Amino acid sequence: DMPIFGHPVASWKRSVATSLIHTIYEPTIDTQNTMVFEEASKTSSLPEVSSQTKEKTVEVFDDQKHGVVLADSNQIITHCNSMFVELTGYNVNDVIGKNCRILQGKNTDQKTVEFIRAALKRGEGCQVMILNYRKNGVPFWNRLSIQPLLDKHGRIRKFVGIQIERSLPVSRFAPVMPWKVGIKKEGPRLLTVASESAVKESGELQILEEKKSKPKISLHDVSFVAETNLPTIKGKYRVRAYKDNKTRQEIMCIIWGKIEASSGLHVRAHDQCFTSEVLGSLKCDCKQQLDFAMEHIKKTSGMVIYLPQEGRGMGLAHKIKAYAVQEHGYDTVDAQHVLGFPDDSRTYAAIPGILQEMNIKSIKLMTNNPRKIRHLKALGIQIDSRIPIVTPTNKHSEGYLKTKHHRQGHMNVGEDR
């Protein structure tokens, strides 16, 4: 059997779960015990579950649209609501006194289970998408949130678990999973992993693949803002500033030579990388690629188009979050999915406008990334040829570059210069 992908979410999102915890405890506030919300750094009071409040708690539980379980500090279930009973098919007496792992089964991803175990051991909450099984053996995807409730000394008093039945978001997962996730309907809202042949037959996946090969064309309107000469350690470049009028992003063109009205211009479309370019991070090869391109255009004349699309379009803070997820053993691509991002959300829709503004008719593209070539071509840019970028790896970036190569089809990765 193929493994099924579950995905932890790095930090506690102030979502349904947090508000539920508030809802659960709001009616019975007691200033004795303190509950700490890590992300919101907000403290509120947590009552002892006395027999009186217990009733109230259960009552509030039953208002919810989601499964809710309360467990003691040893993860033994002490309460569950009627939605949990409905969702899992277990009745109250089946589960009180048990550990929720009874919901796991043969295709539950063990990495996800480990992630939960590690988070709870550290006294942290977690959100995961995990494959669970109902009492009758029928599987379902569980968008599970677990939050420990701490007392003011930081000791775990209880755990709250919230279960939401979810379908796996196909658009984010299907095209990139190494074992190919297919979608097979087995009753309402039920998703499982299908064999590769079933995947081929799956209409939905085909649509995704079509989308992948033919990216949507929608050009962004750009405006030229200003140009200056900039002396740098590498030499004196021209810098032309543009504004993408759709995204409001500022795009910088770093230019060597007279490039206006040219054909076959050597161009690099480079996405910002604060961690390597500013901090000197060793986790990726972005800075080396930028250096390569800036040196290269000195020989041939050309342009580096510098786009503020940090973290493959996720933004800098999310990129840091993705790095945090990778510390749990996920590769770059999975980490992005874990955070709910596609593997690459960068857009190059402003580039045609920039080339047009300088009357550049065709380019030679410096890249190892087939997606970039596909996208630029789909945007109507004439690419005469590709100039490979070869940069040396180090022990920190090796894994990242391997992922780029194996999962995203990058070329020339890890070759000698």
Of 268, 312, 344, 371, the catalytic one is 344
Nearer to ligand FMN by Cβ, of 134 and 402: the residue is: 134
Angle, CA of 156, 161 and 167, to the nearest 5° = 150
User: 240: which 2 tokens?
Assistant: 């032309």
Nearer to ligand FMN by Cβ, of 159 and 242: the residue is: 159
Which class for 280: exposed (0-12), middle (13-18), buried (19 or more C-beta within 10 A)?
A: exposed
- Which residue has 């064999």 as its token pair? 195
Which class for 143: exposed (0-12), middle (13-18), buried (19 or more C-beta within 10 A)?
A: buried
Shortest Cβ 271–ligand FMN spacing (Å): 37
Instruction: Specify whether 346 is catalytic.
Output: yes
Shortest Cβ 131–ligand FMN spacing (Å): 8
Nearer to ligand FMN by Cβ, of 139 and 302: the residue is: 139
Shortest Cβ 103–ligand FMN spacing (Å): 4
Which 8-state DSSP code applies to residue 32? Answer: T
Shortest Cβ 148–ligand FMN spacing (Å): 8
Binding site for ligand FMN (CB under 6 A): 69, 71, 75, 99-101, 103-104, 113, 116-117, 120, 130, 132, 142, 144, 146, 159-161, 163
Shortest Cβ 147–ligand FMN spacing (Å): 8
Nearer to ligand FMN by Cβ, of 69 and 335: the residue is: 69
Nearer to ligand FMN by Cβ, of 141 and 306: the residue is: 141
Cα–Cα distance, 186 to 404 (Å, whole number): 34
Q: Cβ(131)–Cβ(105) under 8 Å?
A: yes
Nearer to ligand FMN by Cβ, of 160 and 314: the residue is: 160
Which class for 255: exposed (0-12), middle (13-18), buried (19 or more C-beta within 10 A)?
A: buried
Cα–Cα distance, 165 to 401 (Å, whole number): 35
Which class for 82: exposed (0-12), middle (13-18), buried (19 or more C-beta within 10 A)?
A: middle
User: 362: which 2 tokens?
Assistant: 């065709």
Shortest Cβ 123–ligand FMN spacing (Å): 12
- Nearest residue (beta carbon) to ligand FMN: 161
Instruction: Specify whether 344 is catalytic.
Output: yes
Report the DSSP beta bridge partners of residue 148. Answer: 159
Q: Cβ(235)–Cβ(255) under 8 Å?
A: no
Shortest Cβ 44–ligand FMN spacing (Å): 19
Of 346, 374, 386, 407, the catalytic one is 346
Which 8-state DSSP code applies to residue 236? Answer: E
Nearer to ligand FMN by Cβ, of 132 and 326: the residue is: 132
Q: Cβ(60)–Cβ(27) under 8 Å?
A: yes
Q: How far apart are the first and last CA of the chain?
A: 42
Q: Give one word for 213, left, alpha or beta, with left for phi > 0 and alpha for psi -120 to 50.
A: alpha
Shortest Cβ 163–ligand FMN spacing (Å): 5
Q: Cβ(182)–Cβ(77) under 8 Å?
A: no
Cα–Cα distance, 57 to 60 (Å, whole number): 5
Nearer to ligand FMN by Cβ, of 61 and 348: the residue is: 61
C-alpha closest to that of 240 among 309, 306, 290: 306
Catalytic residue ranges: 344, 346
